[in-house]
Each structure stands twice: as structure tokens, then as C-alpha cells.
Amino acid sequence: MIPAMLIAGTHSGVGKTTITLGLMAALSRRGLKVQPFKVGPDFIDPSHHTAVCGRPSYNLDPFMMGLDGVRRSFSAAAQGADVAVVEGVMGLFDGMGASETGSTAQVAKALGIPVILVINVHGMSRSAAAIELGFAEYDPALNLAGTILNRVGSERHVAMLKSTMQKPVFGMIPRNKEMEMKSRHLGLVMGYEFDHDLQALASFLEENADIDEMLELGIEDCPVASKGAVSEKFVRIGIAQDEAFCFYYHENLRELERKGAELVFFSPLRDSLPDVDGLYIGGGYPELHAASLEAAPARRQIKMASEDGMPIYGECGGLMYLGDAIESEEGRNEMVGALPGTTIMTKKLQALGYVEADVVASNPAAEMGKIVRGHEFHYSRFDCASDARLAYRLRRGKGIRDGRDGLVEHNTLGGYLHAHFYSYAVDRFIESCKSYGRR
């Protein structure tokens, strides 16, 4: 058995992220190797997990990965860890629309992992027991092991709550203004930007939760075997990684390595283009660093590489960077110019949600006829010519325009879609890079 638990919430904003980070910090301080996971497509929470645990946090998303993909990713990542901690998304049963697809509950059932439900009990007593009962009985296939009660008040409040709850109460978390203030900012900044006081986080949970009892919870080894790693590296792929480009599903990077890629990390803000056979430019915040990106040497070098036929794949922030320019209230900054179009920053959210796309045009990353799944989230639009070649026709999602995404020029592909590589094989991208490197 692998000690494991999933921290879920009754709804968003109940404090599950702060509690999860505190638990991870406490377990790490005990000298345990903690493997973190996050349900859903989010990039930010996993970055905080990684900062606290010192191990990459993996997304578990049934829509993008499939249930077998969720099991495979969990099984592979948990190897060598002393305990696995999964943070849920939204409320426990909230999925796509009115379905359970993509929900925390669906992941919990797929893994058979015990669930600890966080309930915000501010202003209630017996009602907390009713919530616990409703969540426990809503889906009998779910293993609801117990609760953590957040924002408890006086000792009298604690006593009332304990007398009414039926399942184990693993924690009674008091109201803490400092922790609540920090929690409000967790979803706004990446983990490396946040000043985590790990000792304070660890102490806060140790003092208010029964961590020893939680460590008694566990999961049987997942029966699905992980994909074997490829020892021989026959292609070099550059990975843009810095403050401007920091949104990557960690499993995507591992998948490239399994297929034979040596990953070469570099910063478009500071470094020259490395000696590689292809590029993967993920999402992030290029608009916040537009002036620096414009002045950096990599911008022109990537343009030349694109014109030379190097396979280049960009997602969201990567699309913005590969375009001609980024325009915002601060002005216009020239970008790579490998893709014909301009990013216009907007104050209004342009798209948020899951994406499913048919590949309908030749491109360096995905085979025609395949279905690609992922997620999009952006406060910008990308203006390109009406006759621009777009590789994806969307079944759901917004994309660049008119239900299409994936702008192609030369051997460069960029779109708003953050794809998960478990939704389709990356062999085409690997082969494109291999062919370019052998010229």
C-alpha cells in the first residue's frame, strides 16, 4: 500500500490549497518524500506544490488524459515516494457541465484513493454534519475517509462540531487572517514567485491536524504499468523556460523524453537559441516581459530557425511570442514574427475551458485526422489574415477565430490550445525534429 490521500473541497474557496500546501510542508519536514498531484488542467497550483515538495507536481485530468492515463501518470510519478498527496479542483463532484467528467470525484474513484473533504464551518455547527453526510452518500463508490474543518472559532465551536460529525475529523483549522490573506494570492502567482514560509505552513498543519492518522490512509498500487523510459536520445528539443514561459504539463516533458528527446532548457529572456533540432514554447506571461523579449537575441534567432524549417510548437504564450507583435496599453513590442499575426491584450477574459480539436491541416506536431484535447485560458486575441492556415477545427473551445486554432507557417505551429500529450501521440513532432536535425 502507498500512503496517499486526496484533499477535496465542498466548493472553490474553502481553503483546500492552503491546507494542501501546509500538509505537504509538514510531511516534507518529517523527512518524507512527498509526491504532489493536482486534479484538473491548472498550471499554478502545481507550481506551488513543486516549490514546497521539491518534486514535480503532475496534473491528473480525465478529460485530457483518459482514466488509464490518470492511473498511469499517478503510478509512474508515485514510484519512489513515501506518500502521495493529491489536491482536488473546485467542489468534489464538479465536472464538465452537469457531468462528473474531469471532476475530483472521478479521479478519486479511478485511483481508489481516500478523500479528505475540507468544509468551511464558519457560522455553522450541526450543518457541517449534514454536509458531510450528503457528500458521503451522494456517490457510494467514493471513499470519503473523513473531513478537515476549516475556519473553526472558539473551543465551544470545536466541541459542538466534534459531537455531530460521523466520520473521522482529521483537522480543526482555526481562522488565521495571515494564512487566509496568503491563500487569496496563491492562484495569482507561480510557485517560484511566492514567498512560502515552509516552517510556518508545516507548523500550522502539525498543530491543527492529525497527520499521523492521515498517514494511515492509502491506495493499492495502480495496476496500469507506466510507459518505459527511452534510454537512447536521438533528438534535441529546446524547451523555453523562464518567467515568461512557465506553463507546462510535466507529463508532456516526460513523454518527449520517453520518445527519445533530450530536453534542452533555455530562457528566451536571457539566452541565445541553443543547438537543437526543434522547439517547444509553452504558455506563461510573455505580455509582462514583452520589452525584454523584444530586446533579447533569441527573438531573431528563432525567426531565422523557423524560416529554415525548424519544427517549432508554441502554446498560448508561445503563440503570442511567435507572432509579429504584442499590443497592450503599454504599447507595441515586436516579437519573433514566425507566425503572421498580432496579439491584442484585452481586459476581458476571451476563453476559459476544455478544448477538443480535429487536426485538419498538415503541421509539424500532430497527424491529420487525429483528435487533440487540452485546455485554453487567455486574456488576449490573436489577429491574423483571413486566409491564414489553421490546423485545428474545434469541437469545443474558442481558439484563434471561428472555431479554429493552430496557426501554421513553414514548420511552425502555434495555438491557444494547451494540449496534453496523452491525448495524442507526439511521434510526429519527434520525427519532424529528427528529420530537421539530419539535413
Check if the beta carbon of residue 217 is closer than 8 Å to that of residue 244: no
Q: How many CB atoms lie within 10 A of CB 5?
A: 24
pLDDT of 87: 98
Q: Which helix (H) or strand (E) holds 300?
A: helix 298-307
Question: What pTM, to 2 d.p., does this model score?
Answer: 0.93
pLDDT of 2: 87
pLDDT of 154: 83
**Residues β-bridged to residue 84:** 4, 35
CA angle 15, 17, 21 (to 5 degrees): 120
pLDDT of 192: 55
Closest by CA to 408, choosing from 338, 308, 351, is 338
316 is annotated as an active-site residue? yes
Buried b (16+ CB within 10 A) or exposed e, 338-362: bbebbbebeeeebbeebbbbebebe
* Distance in angstroms (rounded) separating the CA atoms of residues 357 and 8: 30
Check if the beta carbon of residue 167 is closer than 8 Å to that of residue 144: yes
Mind listing the domains of the chain with CATH numbers? 2-219 (3.40.50.300), 235-437 (3.40.50.880)
* Distance in angstroms (rounded) separating the CA atoms of residues 266 and 246: 11
pLDDT of 226: 53
53, 222, 316, 433: the catalytic one is 316
Check if the beta carbon of residue 237 is closer than 8 Å to that of residue 433: yes
pLDDT-flagged residues of the chain (< 70): 177-196, 221-231
